[in-house]
Amino acid sequence: MESLYIIKIGGNIVDNPALLSTCLQSFAKVKGHAILVHGGGKLATNMADSMGVPQTMIEGRRVTDEATLKIVTMVYAGYINKNIVAQLHALGVNAMGLSGVDGNLIQAHKRTNTAIDYGWVGDIDSVNTDLLIQLLSANTKLVVAPITHDGKGQLLNTNADTIAQSLATALSAKYAVHLIYGFEKEGVLKDVNDPSSVILRLDRPLYGTLKNQKVIFEGMIPKIDNAYLALDNGVQSVIIGKAEKMNELINGTAGTTITH
């Protein structure tokens, strides 16, 4: 079974041109099949501020009203996605940028039945694995933006951590999938202010304890929840760590390995 690396980079990496460049250089060196999923970063928030559109974040997830949906679609599926693809081409990578809308890649539905109305936020229903396999088989590295659709013409903002997990799960029957969440920190930390406090292996009981103690909170929770979903559904490994250390993350010599 061929290996496939699905690598998600967060908004803090996207926001920093130097970090993004270093990360993309590492991604360009990935041997074989690879998919890069990116978040949105501050550009959408800054644009919303300049347009007078207030923004609300809850546990690292953006509440998306109609005006915000237009902004995130333009920023995520437009500028950020194409900027990353252009940089990869400059590094000699045969890259293609997609959102969940393109080629019916990811269908979703508007999140309902929750205490909080997240607006036009999508929960994923299906992934077009045939399209992904076709593109990967043509030695194309894919760059996926976190915008999906409901099949009825409605765009939806969808958490990039969840998209990475859903792609990993969907492709786990065809490839030996390794899921990597790359962000600005060394891994999951016992002390958010101490970069050396990396938890090398995080199992479910420890995760539950640290979440209850508020050691792990906000944006890290969706990452780890998605890591366990991936492991439960056939993904070979999940590692969370510093995006610029992509080579070490791929080799399993950096970051936090998520285990059962």
- Domain total of the chain: 1
How many residues are present in the chain?
260
Among 22-26, 80-84, 95-99, the range scoring the smallest mean pLDDT is 22-26
Please check whether residue 211 lies inside any domain of the structure.
no
Mean pLDDT of 232-240: 96
Give Cα 218 to chain centroid, integer Å.
15
Please check whether residue 245 lies inside any domain of the structure.
no
Express each pLDDT in 129-188 by its tens digit. 999 999 999 999 999 999 999 999 999 999 999 999 999 999 999 999 999 999 889 999
HSE-CB for 54 with a 13 A CA cutoff? 1
Give Cα 39 to chain centroid, integer Å.
6
Please check whether residue 25 lies inside any domain of the structure.
yes
Instruction: Find the angle CA(256)-CA(98)-CA(24) to the nearest 5 degrees.
Output: 45
Express each pLDDT in 59-83 by its tens digit. 667 899 999 999 999 999 999 999 9
Please check whether residue 219 lies inside any domain of the structure.
no
Task: Name the pTM for this structure.
Answer: 0.95
CA distances from 172 to 6, 31, 61, 62, 82 (A): 11, 18, 26, 29, 27
Please check whether residue 134 lies inside any domain of the structure.
yes
Contact 60, 222 (CB under 8 A): yes
Task: Give the pLDDT confidence score for residue 58 in this predicted structure.
Answer: 80
Task: Give the pLDDT confidence score for residue 60 in this predicted structure.
Answer: 65
Please check whether residue 226 lies inside any domain of the structure.
no
Which helix (H) or strand (E) covers residue 19, if one does?
Answer: helix 17-28
Task: Give the pLDDT confidence score for residue 114 in this predicted structure.
Answer: 77
Task: Tell whether the model's pLDDT for residue 5 goes beyond 90.
Answer: yes
Please check whether residue 147 lies inside any domain of the structure.
yes
Which helix (H) or strand (E) covers residue 99, if one does?
Answer: strand 95-99
Please check whether residue 179 lies inside any domain of the structure.
yes
> What percent of the chain has a predicted confidence (pLDDT) above 90?
82
Q: What is the mean pLDDT of the chain?
A: 94
Give Cα 73 to chain centroid, integer Å.
16
3-class SS at 178? strand
CATH number at residue 143: 3.40.1160.10
Q: What is the DSSP letter of 115?
A: S
Task: Tell whether the model's pLDDT for residue 112 goes beyond 90.
Answer: no
Task: Give the pLDDT confidence score for residue 192 in this predicted structure.
Answer: 85
Containing domain of residue 41, as a range?
3-185
Rounded CA gap, 8 and 13, in Å?
A: 10
